[in-house]
A = this chain, B = another copy of it.
Amino acid sequence: MKIIINREKLMESIQHVTKAISSKTAIPILAGLKIQASANGITLTGSNSDITIESFIPIEEEGIQFIDELEAGEIILHAKYFPEIIRKLPSSTVIITTDENLQITIQSGHAEFHLNGQDADEYPQISAIETDTNFELPINLLKNMIKQTVFAVSTSETRPILTGVNLKAENDHLHFIATDSHRLAANKLPVNHEISSFPFEQVVIPGKSLNELSKILEDTEDKIQISISENQIAFQSHHLYFVSRLLDGKYPETSRLIPEESKTVLYVDTKTLLQAVDRASLLAKDNHNNVIRLQTKEQQIVEISSNSPEIGKVEEEIEAEKIEGEELKISFSSKYMIDALKIMETDQVKIEFTGAMRPFIIKPTDNDQILQLILPVRTF
- A contacts, CB < 8 Å to B: 78, 81, 84-85, 88-90, 104, 110-116, 275-276, 278-279, 282-283, 310-318
Contact = CB atoms under 8 A, between A and B. Distances in A.
Contacts of A112: 314-316
B311 A116 contact: yes
A287 B316 CA distance: 58
Contacts of A278: 88
A84 B278 CA distance: 11
Contacts of A318: 110
B81 A282 contact: yes
Contact of A111 (B81, B276, B312): B276
Contacts of A88: 275, 278-279, 282
Contacts of A311: 78, 81, 115-116
Query: Which of A279, A283, A314, A316 counts the most B-chain CB atoms under 10 A from its CB?
Result: A279
Contacts of A89: 279
A311 B312 CA distance: 57
A222 B20 CA distance: 51
A309 to B, nearest CB: 9
A316 B279 contact: no
Query: Which of A113, A116, A283, A316 counts the most B-chain CB atoms under 10 A from its CB?
Result: A113
Given A113-B312, A312-B116, A85 B279 contact: yes
Given A110-B316, A111-B276, A316-B111, A84 B116 contact: no
B283 A113 contact: yes
A107 to B, nearest CB: 10
Contacts of A317: 110
Given A275-B90, A311-B78, A282 B84 contact: yes
B114 A313 contact: yes
A87 to B, nearest CB: 9
Contact of A85 (B81, B116, B276, B282): B282
14 contacts: A78-B311, A81-B282, A81-B311, A81-B312, A88-B275, A88-B279, A110-B318, A112-B314, A112-B316, A113-B283, A113-B314, A115-B311, A115-B312, A116-B312
Nearest to A309: B116
A256 B351 CA distance: 75
Given A85-B282, A114-B312, 13 more contacts: A88-B275, A88-B278, A88-B279, A104-B312, A110-B276, A110-B316, A111-B316, A112-B314, A113-B279, A113-B283, A114-B313, A114-B314, A115-B311
A214 B282 CA distance: 30
Query: Which of A110, A115, A278, A310 counts the most B-chain CB atoms under 10 A from its CB?
Result: A110
Contacts of A313: 113-114
Contact of A283 (B81, B90, B282): B81
A203 to B, nearest CB: 40
A294 to B, nearest CB: 14
Nearest to A317: B110
A310 B114 contact: no
